[in-house]
Amino acid sequence: MSIGKQALLAVFVLLLAGAGWYAFQHRASLFGGAEVASGGTAGGGQGGQRGGGRGVSGPTPVVTDVVGSDVTGEEVRAVGTVLVPRSINLYPQVSAIVTEVLFKAGDKVAKDQSILRLDDADQKAALDLAQVALSDAQKTLERSQKLASTNNLTQSALQDAQSGERKAEIALLGTQIALERRTIVAPFAGVVGISNISEGDLVTTSTVVATLDDLTVMKVSFLVPERFSGRVAIGQPITATADSDPDAVIKGVVSAIDTRVDASARTLKVEATIDAASAEAVGVKPGMSIKVRLPFQGEKQLALSALAIQWDRNGAYVWRVAGDGVKRAAINVLERQSGRVLVSSADLAEGDKIVVEGLQRLRDGAKIAELNAHAEGGKAAAGGVAKGS
């Protein structure tokens, strides 16, 4: 191809590119606004061009929602230890050989029920001897009283007989106590734990023969940060869950608050009484750890849809409906709650309308048409737009 032809081809390509660029820059007047522009030709070319612009830039269709309200809340989450108010180790009061074990692990026993017997042969013999001695002392006292009534016995001899009878009573009481100590009984109703004691074992006063727990009342002890020390109150509800059944919720109330904050840990010890039946049903036992939640009611805050929130370098904001347009409203996000967001804002109030869909084309003061408005209102708005066009 000759140089002349190449030059002509280059000029043609440049002209074609220029025509395309011009058509793109004036596409509204050349295509979309052609009918309006031709209608305004009688008023002058410049007026026709402005009329075409109004036909293109109508109200932005949007979906709105109403600003609601909700109450913010704080809660303490802690790991607590399960306690029972009455939980003891049983010790014998004397050293002796075990002759009979009357329980097995897990048994429920009543108050004063016998659970262990020790060798008591010597004590039974001593009791019989004390009973004979008391009987002899009582007979001696009766004879002395008869003789004293006839003045055949001195007053001092009568007093000796009375003293002997009293000493025999005390000796009998001592042997009865010694015999009773050979039988270990439950001081209160409860459940007996595992024991390694068996018949024939020698136990002393330092031997733990069994454990006894009253499971009708359960408590949980946990720590809360010192900043909540003034907000914890007796009777405040709590909830707890155990690893044995994480889906089961155990309810309770605060029953005791310590009088001082731990200076090293900066925590306050709190006890709560929990539902013993619910706790026992999921396998909760004394000494076990459970997760505790202690809620605190907060302040009323604005609640709005998470779809309405936008962000820029100045922070979070939403578009508030003002008449037939929108205004920017700055917000401060406080808490997120599954599709709803709690916020604070000086530009919003409960009941205000905000835009949740169609946000991309909005600017401050932009006109809008609500797509979720009432049918009649929507028709009226559509008629107004056509009329303005």
Q: pLDDT tens digit string along 293-322?
A: 999 877 788 999 999 999 999 999 999 999
Task: Render pLDDT for 15-45 as a digit per residue (tens, 0 to 9).
Answer: 777 777 666 666 555 554 433 333 443 343 3
Task: Render pLDDT for 65-78 as a digit per residue (tens, 0 to 9).
Answer: 999 988 777 889 99
User: What is the per-residue pLDDT for 150?
Assistant: 84
Q: 62-77: b or e for each residue (b if 16 or more CB lie within 10 Å)?
A: bbbbebeebebeeebe
Of the pLDDT bands very low, low, confident and very high (cuts 50, 70, 90), residue 62 is very high
| Of 33 and 291, more confident | 291
User: What is the per-residue pLDDT for 42?
Assistant: 36
User: What is the per-residue pLDDT for 297?
Assistant: 79
Nearest of 66, 59, 68, 67 to residue 358 by alpha carbon? 59
CATH ID of 76-85+214-298, from 2.40.30.170, 1.20.1060.10, 3.40.640.10, 3.30.70.600:
2.40.30.170
The amino acid sitting at 215 is L
- Topology of domain 88-212, CATH: OB fold (Dihydrolipoamide Acetyltransferase, E2P) (2.40.50)
Report the relative pairing of strands 325-330 and 315-322 from DSSP bridges.
antiparallel
Rounded distance between C-alpha atoms, residue 168 and residue 175, angstroms? 11
Task: Render pLDDT for 214-260 as a digit per residue (tens, 0 to 9).
Answer: 999 999 999 999 999 999 999 999 999 999 999 999 999 999 999 99
User: What is the per-residue pLDDT for 335?
Assistant: 85
The sheet with strand 210-213 has its strands ordered as 87-90, 210-213, 190-192, 108-109
User: What is the per-residue pLDDT for 171?
Assistant: 94
Q: Is the pLDDT of residue 388 over 70?
A: no
| Of 220 and 53, more confident | 220
Q: Is the pLDDT of residue 174 over 90?
A: yes
User: What is the per-residue pLDDT for 375?
Assistant: 38
User: What is the per-residue pLDDT for 25?
Assistant: 64
Of the pLDDT bands very low, low, confident and very high (cuts 50, 70, 90), residue 361 is confident
Q: Is the pLDDT of residue 342 over 60?
A: yes
pTM for the structure as a whole: 0.56
Domain-wise residue ranges, the chain: 60-71+300-388, 76-85+214-298, 88-212
User: What is the per-residue pLDDT for 89?
Assistant: 94
Beta bridge partners of 278: none
Average pLDDT of the residues in 159-179: 93
> Can you spell out the DSSP letters for 211-261?
EEE-TTSEEEEEEEEGGGTTT--TT-EEEEEETTEEEEEEEEEEEEEEEEE
Q: Is the pLDDT of residue 132 over 50?
A: yes
362: tokens are: 């909005």
| Summary mean pLDDT of the chain | 85
Phi, psi of 277 (to 5 degrees): -65, -45
To 10 degrees, the CA torsion angle through 37, 43, 49, 51?
Answer: -70
- Topology of domain 60-71+300-388, CATH: 2.40.420
Average pLDDT of the residues in 355-363: 91
103 to 100, 180, 205, 384: CA distances (angstroms): 9, 18, 20, 91
Q: Is the pLDDT of residue 326 over 90?
A: yes
